[in-house]
């Protein structure tokens, strides 16, 4: 598998990663709003934890997740720009529909009114063209 294929597969999977991070932030926010008041009691040899400390840690965690989410979104943008470098518009469309829109090959073929062999030939050529850009 060439570098371009690996990057295109990464692009295809970034949406799930981004969505899981967004869901994690939403869950964290919901927990912050609905959690019972934290106790600052000392528990058997442990040190007391102040409510403010717990909330501060959760806010830092939320900000960290949001920063990671922004980095994943930027990575998706960077990888999708690779597709823009492909010279043939039909090949670009195949890559976008396959790796960004995550459409099945049959749906792409039907939409573009091309045969299966044409789909795979154009996709392979576009991937090879991206490999050339990456080597340069």
Assigned token pair, 122: 């154009």
- Provide long-range contacts, Cβ within 8 A and 24+ apart, for 86-91: 86/126, 86/129, 86/130, 87/129, 88/122, 88/125, 88/126, 90/114, 90/122, 91/122, 91/123, 91/125, 91/126, 91/129
Quote the pLDDT of residue 102. Answer: 94
* Mean pLDDT value across the chain: 87
Give percent above pLDDT 70 in the chain: 85
| Confidence (pTM) | 0.74
Give percent above pLDDT 90 in the chain: 69
Q: What is the mean pLDDT of residues 70-84?
A: 94
């Amino acid at each position: 598998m060439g570098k371009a294929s690996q990057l295109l597969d990464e692009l295809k999977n970034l949406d799930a990663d981004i969505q899981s991070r967004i869901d994690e932030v939403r869950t964290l926010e919901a927990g912050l709003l609905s959690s019972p008041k934290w106790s600052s009691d000392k528990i058997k040899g442990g040190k007391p934890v102040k409510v403010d400390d717990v909330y501060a840690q959760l806010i830092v965690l939320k900000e960290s997740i949001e920063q990671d989410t922004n980095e994943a979104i930027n990575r998706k943008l960077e990888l999708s720009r690779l597709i823009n470098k492909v010279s043939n518009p039909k090949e670009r469309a195949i890559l976008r529909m396959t790796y960004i829109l995550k459409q099945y090959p049959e749906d792409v073929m039907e939409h573009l009114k091309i045969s299966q062999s044409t789909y795979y030939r154009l996709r392979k050529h576009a991937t090879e063209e991206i490999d050339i850009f990456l080597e340069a």
